[in-house]
Structure 1
Amino acid sequence: MTFQRPANLASLEILRVRVDDVTMDETIELIAAMLAAGGAHQIATVNPEFVMAAQDNVAFRATLAATSLAVPDGTGLLHAARWQGKQLRSKVTGIDLTERLAAESAQRGWKIFLLGAADGVAAKAAAVLQQRYPNCQIVGTWAGSPREPDQPVIANEIRRSQPDIVLVAYGAPAQDLWIRRYGAGLGIKLGIGVGGTFDDLAGLRPRAPQWMRKFGLEWLWRLIRHPERWRRIFTAVVLFGWAAWREAQRIKRG
């Protein structure tokens, strides 16, 4: 049995980066299909920073293009799709997907490994998930890094744990490049880059209030709490928005 992307799975390109039009429920069912099919799969949680980074990083752009699924993690992508006269129905963020996977793990027995973040953070995130979803199968955690010297230990931990899903929190593009390079060789059935999700779960980086998330104002929350990150936020909000709007105008002109 081989996993095949459904023929009716709509997608669009935003600044040469593919984004799939999937909801959270659809994402979970596609994950179930990937795990049932066997082989090695990768999901990218694409946000505006990904798109901008991919403009000058050929390896990153190729990695995103090769993923089994590229979910829309960011309100900016929904706006960009609408400017093109197309649709991305909803966000599928890294942290929401992680929590949903923990819940599904409790029901379906999926084994999950948390890789990345600073020492102890993945373990704390795992403890939070296990408290919220008591029967979820988190079979291992490790900090490590994408650096070559760390790979033998990481390989041993993953092979020992035999997870179905590895959530990688190195940040983009490192996490996504790592999954593409090492995932199949380590027998990882599904690798997903989840950015700062472990920090969020561990309480190191509180999420924006629900009303701000609803209106796509997470960027403002991050700017208020971490003004030193203004360059990244400027890139993700202003530079991405301008580039995506210009692309949409070119598409409409034909």
Structure 2
Amino acid sequence: MIDFARPQQVNILGVAIDCVDFALTLDLIDTWIVQRRVAGRSCLPCRQICTVNPEFLVDAWRDPAFAATLARADLRVPDGAGVLWAARRMGRPLRERVTGSDGIEYICERAALRGWRVYFLGAAPGVAERAAAILAVRYPGLQVAGCYAGSPADAEWPEIRARLDAAAPDILFVAYGHPRQDFWIDRHRHELPAAVAIGVGGAFDFVAGVAPRAPVWMRKNNLEWLHRLVTQPWRWRRMLKLPIFVGLVLRAR
């Protein structure tokens, strides 16, 4: 096990974004899982990873409760071209977007090699199971600890907790969408049996083929937001946060 110090950070609109890429993120997860296995669940709470995009930052600017949730997270990775743009304007360029949609692939690949147990929580009924099955074929040796749709409602917690305790995963993917998944992990992290929990938004839908992901060329050119707007027009209200984000960043300089 390698002992990592806290990564350097860049402050964007009051939120400290960790200066990490996928490689360092995976190494941190590796370290946390080993630490948890050695120390035991009672000694170390579940680590929370938040994939921070411009929408997160606008919501944190508006909502002190969400800002506090992000502040308590163990890792806030840069998800979104807007976050990379803001960091460049501040003279602190970041290497790459660390997205939940790509992260689930990289984490499952590492999990298959390391013997980590992964749990898929959230999305519509049946989607988690389909995504897990596809990833298990894609990454031979992947140990799927379990799948369950459930919901972030408080009434669901006893059932979810019982399932997770029985499954004993190392990593918990939570696909309840922003910001519900981030609030949910923060609320329950001291009771979660996993070493690491990460909100992955629509990642299960992408893996399962329920929702189409942007072509690679659009992702490389930071146009994934445009693809989502075209294929999911109901997101237009959420997209209005993008110009608000740009204005806030420009005003902060």
Aligned match for 1:239, one of 223, 244, 250: 244
**Aligned 8 A contact 1:115 1:168 in 2:** yes
Alignment-derived partner of residue 6 in structure 1: 5
| The one of 53, 58, 61 aligned to 2:59 | 53
Q: Deviations over 1:134-187 (max 9, x none)?
A: 211111011011101111110111011000110101111111111111122132
The two structures have a TM-score, normalised by structure 1, of 0.92
Structure 1 stretches of 4+ with a deviation exceeding 4 A read none
Q: Of 22, 26, 29, which aligns to 2:27? A: 29
Residues 72-221 of structure 1 correspond to what in structure 2 (within 5 A)? 72-221=78-227
Amino acid at match of 2:178: A
Q: Is the 8 A contact 1:73 1:93 kept in 2?
A: yes
**CA distance in 2: counterparts of 1:238 and 1:92, whole angstroms:** 22
> TM-score, length-normalised on structure 2?
0.93
3-state SS of paired residue (1:30):
helix
Structure 2 counterpart SS, 1:229: helix
Q: Secondary structure at the match of 1:141?
A: strand
Aligned to 1:69: 75
Selected match of 1:228 from 219, 230, 234: 234
Provide, for residues 22-66 of structure 1, a one-character-per-residue CA deviation record: whole Å limited to 9, x for no partner.
110110001111112222211111111111111222221111111
- TM-align CA RMSD: 1.5
Q: Residue type of the partner of 2:35?
A: A
Indicate conservation of the 8 Å contact 1:111/1:163, yes or no: yes
Partners of 1:225 and 1:164 lie apart in 2 by 34
In the TM superposition, residue 234 of structure 1 has moved relative to its aligned partner by 2.2
Offset of residue 109 of structure 1: 0.3
| Contact 1:115–1:169 (8 Å) recurs in 2 | yes
Gaps of 5+ in 2: 37-43
What number of residue pairs does the alignment pair up? 245
Aligned counterpart, 1:252: none
Once residues 77 and 249 of structure 2 are traced to their aligned partners in structure 1, the CA distance between those partners, rounded to angstroms, is 17
Distance in 1 separating the partners of 2:250 and 2:207: 33
Q: Which runs of 5+ in 1 are unaligned?
A: 250-254
CA distance in 2, matches of 1:55, 1:81: 17
For 1:231 and 1:173, the matched residues in 2 are separated by 15
CA distance in 2, matches of 1:134, 1:233: 38
Q: Answer whether contact 1:5 1:68 (CA < 8 A) is retained.
A: no
